[in-house]
Structure formats: structure tokens, C-alpha cells
Structure 1
Amino acid sequence: MRTTARTIATAGTLAALVAGSTAVLGATASAAPNVTPQGVCGSAYKTVNSAPIGSLGTVYLTYNSSNGKNCVATIRTNPGTAKEMSTYIYVPDTDAWAGDSGSYTSYAGPAYVYGKGHCVSWGGSISNVYVSVENSNCAALKERRVTEVR
């Protein structure tokens, strides 16, 4: 029960932090044709997981085995007029998180955290569609995905 309450509290905190990061991180993403997770995160990052954000786009979880870092990027299916977008990643074991949000034409991110040997929670949003993935990429826990329209 305590873990569930902490997870809910953590998710709420992450949503607030991602929303509040616009002023600090808002200028990191820009329009680019044929955007890929490796184009956003770096060529050494390999896609290890992804989650659709309705039909609007996809949030990608990538990993760089040489430095132990994960990166997330939210990429639109059809770039165009700027829309509110976000991406975040959180490592519960270390309480490390990173995120990006703002009004973007093609992608939000990148957001990096050290995650070697740890479960990660991550997600993103485009317009009013939000997706979160908890307990991802770890053998001990079952992954939980939630998509919601607000």
C-alpha cells in the first residue's frame, strides 16, 4: 500500500515538475524532418521501449550501454504547428529525474538520467493525450502503462 501511495505521489510530482520545466528547458527541442529517437538522444542510444501517444506520436525510451544513461524523447507523428508536448524519465531507486515540456513542432526532449541496473518510469504527452510507463525495463517488477486523455 505504501508503495502504491508513493507511486501515485511520485507521478503527481513528476507531472508538476515536467509542467514547470517549460521555462527552464523550453528551448531544447526544435522542428526537424524525419526525427528519430537517435537523432534526438544521440547515435549511441538504442531504443529499448516505446509507447504510442494515441495517434499523435510516440514516446521513446533509449539506453546508452557505454555510459549507463537512459534518454526519453516524445516525437510527433506529423510535425507541424506547435503543440504542447512533454517527456520525462524517473529512476525511483535514486530519485533522479529529468524532463522537458513546452510548445513544440516535432519533438520534446531529450531528457537523460543514469539508469544502469535500475527500473525506470517514463512517459510523455502531446496536446491532451498523456502516457506513463512505470517499472519499465526491470525483471523484478511488472511494467504498468497508462494512457489518458485530459
Structure 2
Amino acid sequence: MIRKHLATVVAATVLAGGLVGLSAGAAHAYPRVNKCGSAYDFKRSWDINDIHYVDAVVGFIDIYYNRGNGYNCAIARGNDAVVTGQHEIFVEIRRSRDGSWIQDGVGSNYTSYAGPVYAYGKGACIDFIGGLKYNEFSGSGDTGYSSVHGG
């Protein structure tokens, strides 16, 4: 499995801002619940970090896979130790460097998670992005991963 953390995330998903005094405490996230469907198996969660304080985990991107149809599913959820109330949460997925992004939550006002979004990836890698804007000071976090083995 090859993983590369994207140094720069597509311009449409970059959010500006910061949060003073944010610490990287224990992650207490909205519980991981499979919203993809019963045929999808959980693969792994990836951190969403604050864009100014990289060690501060503000959320997670959960990836699921369906062996029967070859589709991957992604959900983004906030870390409730940092993120409370309604806020923008977004998630995007695609087959690596092939096709357009499938997204949910851009411009949203969600309280717990964004997604599910699906991309075919049998025998291929996937790219995914997740993020959130989480306070009145425009504090935000985002992250993206490319060439992750999907199925």
C-alpha cells in the first residue's frame, strides 16, 4: 500500500484560518458508524489535522470497501473534543488520478459527519480529501491522501 500525504489540497477545498490555544488532546470523535451500507467493510481512519497546528486532530476520514461491487466509500467526521455544533464538514473521493471528485458537504452546515461518497476502485488506488471549518474564528482543518490502496 503506497500512501502519500498531499502537500497541497485542491484549491476548492482549502479553508483559511486558525485557532489559538488548540492542543492535541485525546481524540473523542463522533462515533464511527457505517453509513455506507451493510456490504461495506471498514478499512481504516485517517486524521484530519488543523491547518495551522498539524498535531491537532480535528476530525477523521473513514474509508470502507465493498468486495462485492468494488466500490470504496468515504465519510468525514469531526473530533468532538474540538468541534461542536453545526459547521462545514466535507469529504471527497475518486479513483486515483482518474475521473472527477465525488463530494459531499462543501458549504454544508452539518453537526456530525459528511458523506457517504462512493468511488469505484477494484484493483486500483483511491484519492480522498476531508475537512471542516469549525468555529467562529474560521478555525479549520483539512487533509488529503493520494494513491491509497482501495480494493
Equivalent in the alignment of 2:103: 99
1:110 correspondence with 2:123: no
Work out whether residues 76 and 107 of structure 1, in 8 Å CA contact, stay in contact via their aligned partners in 2: yes
Equivalent in the alignment of 2:59: 57
Distance 2:43 2:94 in 1: 16
SS at match of 1:43: coil
5 Å matches for 1:1-150? 11-12=9-10, 16=12, 35-38=31-34, 40-54=35-49, 55-78=57-80, 80-92=84-96, 94-101=98-105, 102-127=108-133, 128-137=140-149
Q: Where does structure 2 lack aligned partners over 5 or more consecutive residues? A: 1-5, 15-29, 50-56, 134-139
**Count of aligned pairs:** 113
TM normalised by structure 1 equals: 0.64
Same amino acid, percent of matched pairs: 30
User: Post-superposition shift, 1:37?
Assistant: 4.2
| RMSD of equivalent CA atoms | 2.6
Work out whether residues 82 and 104 of structure 1, in 8 Å CA contact, stay in contact via their aligned partners in 2: yes
Specify whether residues 46 and 84 from structure 1 end up closer, same or farther in structure 2 by C-alpha distance, changes over 3 A only.
same
Q: Where does structure 1 lack aligned partners over 5 or more consecutive residues? A: 1-6, 20-33, 139-150
Work out whether residues 51 and 58 of structure 1, in 8 Å CA contact, stay in contact via their aligned partners in 2: yes
Ranges of 4+ aligned residues in structure 1 off by more than 3 Å: none
Structure number with the higher helix fraction is 1
Specify whether residues 8 and 126 from structure 1 end up closer, same or farther in structure 2 by C-alpha distance, changes over 3 A only.
closer
Specify whether residues 70 and 114 from structure 1 end up closer, same or farther in structure 2 by C-alpha distance, changes over 3 A only.
same
Equivalent in the alignment of 2:25: none
